[in-house]
Structure 1
Amino acid sequence: MSNNSTTFVGLDVHKDSITVACVGAATTDPVIDVGSIGTQQYAIDRLLKRLGGHGRLELVYEAGPCGFWLQRYLASRQQACVVVASSLIPQRPGDRIKTDRRDARNLALALRAGTLTPVHIPTPAQEAFRDVVRAWQQAKRDITAARQRLKSFLLRNDIRYTGQANWSAAHRRWLAQLVLPSRAQQIVCQELIDAISERERRRDRIEAELDRLAPAWDGYPLAHALQAFRGIQKTVAYTVIAEAGDLSRFAHPRHFMAWLGLVPGEHSSGATRRQGPITRCGNRWARTLLVEAAWAYRYSPKVSAIIERRAQTIDPQIRALAWKAQLRLSTRYRRLAARGKHHNVVVTAIARELGAFIWAAARLVTHTAA
């Protein structure tokens, strides 16, 4: 490799080790297996010094459980590094051998060929807020799981609540007064009830911190504006924007839909076009909640008192867009359902279009702020 050329470096990153391979800019340059190094900063500095003699470095590694700390550290050392989505790395159909060394080599070669798709890297502040939102979501799912365990336990013992709403004040009083046949079962029941209470307190603590941090969050103006839309409350708005980051990076609403994983898969050839289920290759946190929000559009268009209260401090342009979304999506839901489409297929199509309205709202909020 020439000392004045670019060296492309593939990194296969794990918890305690990084496997390294590099290749020169010329197509005739062979791939060099550098070996495995530790994840400590001094080990990374030693690698940069070792490879720096070959000219400018461009580094790449797959997005994964190790996050973005390595990219940020390399950027602080004035090194170009991209993080790529593992699902979008080109693979040869006949390649059935996977090792860390091969992964590093393939990354280096793909980076040189320009066939990799980098992921969006949030700022440390954006990632910190996203972590709080995810913790909030996980806490709510923990509550659901704990409640289901209690309901299953009671059903197994033929104990049924005859009231109207589960987890209401009346339901909780009924739970507190339960007397089971044996002491052991009484203890189990109380432990299950206490587990629910503890998880609810944890959710409340995280939500209080989220509300404290939100006004200073750079995505707050858009998250607040999105609550003018039917089906989008704080949970959906905060999650979608915290996961997506700056929506201006999507040049077209279809790009945002693809990032959500809501576009249909396709296997076409010649004159035959076959579209299948959605790709699901995008962000699962945002996709799941957006599909849940889309169920609200199975009803006729209406601005409820709750939406009206939420929308009082929201720009009239956003409110008009939200009403336009109601008119279009409710009509589209009825038409698709009338054609005999399965309700899950229908609501997924509505979620995809709702993503386009969110993208349009982001453009309005950005324009207003400017």
Structure 2
Amino acid sequence: MSAIATTTPAAPISISAAQARSSDLEELISADPGQFRILTGDRPTGRLHLGHYFGTLHNRVRLQDLGVETYVLIADYQVLTDRDVADNLTEYVEELVLDYLAIGIDPARSTIFTHSAVPALNQLMLPFLSLVSIAELERNPTVKDEIAHSRQAAVSGLMYTYPVHQAADILFCKANLVPVGRDQLPHVELTRTVARRFNERYGVVFPRPDVLLSNAPLLLGTDGTKMSKSRGNAIALAADADETARLIKGATTDVERHITYDPVARPQVASLLLLAALCQDRAPEAVAEEIGSAGAAALKRTVTDAVNSYLAPIRARRAEYAEDRGYLRQILRAGNERANAVADATLVEVRQAMDALY
């Protein structure tokens, strides 16, 4: 029987436990942000949208500004997990950098880098794969969902093993904190398992990263389903005011004229109210009360004005940065250089621990 099969699995991270731990972590961050290092990032598959912004991007800037050491990964290799071809990759990578800069990610304080430019990070996948069983990969709920919605003709090996790739992303820089939503808990759980098994087998090299669970609100797309780049139902951060107005005007609502905030009974209306409330830093109930019986048209005007007002400075900064594409490449070169130095040092430690440094 293999060493993996005889290893006792760690207890799954429950939502309640993650929430309680996240509350404690927020207090620790406030007291001493310098003790934390986070890894976060995105796949370059198109422009980021308001769901991304209020879901994760806003929180990244908050943590960066508090003084947490931040690594932001542009996961260009992972584009291939559910696609046969990585179309428009260079353009999408630059678009991500533009979005990051526009929202306030500071390349002087956060390391922005790409998968493909950091060989040592990807090399960590090999020993990590030896620590994980096929059954564990098959049980991963996120992998199951990604396979079910895959755009590939057949499931690739990269798709199957990408949770281990994500473990390499997190552990290459020894991140001890990973800000995620609930759906990403299984990936961090697997990362913690990989770190524990490596440390038990070869000696302590890696921290077991904590989850910082996001309380980010769920924003629906303009069609009332999950907001997604691929579904064409999202408002991109780079969208201009007219495009934003058009998208919101076409948003799904319901037949009831009086506007109320009821996420269960009226999810589409509630999502629009929540979007306006987030942009105005108000409670969605207050926005609903203000609109009252004015109906869906008034709701959409309110949301449009709130979104365009909120995004105006972000769009202005984005347009300014877009004038100098060379600066975007410079940021990536500097970030890749820093990430390579960290990854190379970690790989040396791994090889030493494995007695494989010749």
Q: TM-score range by the shorter chain?
A: under 0.3
The TM-score normalised by the length of structure 2 is 0.24
Larger Rg computed on CA atoms: 1
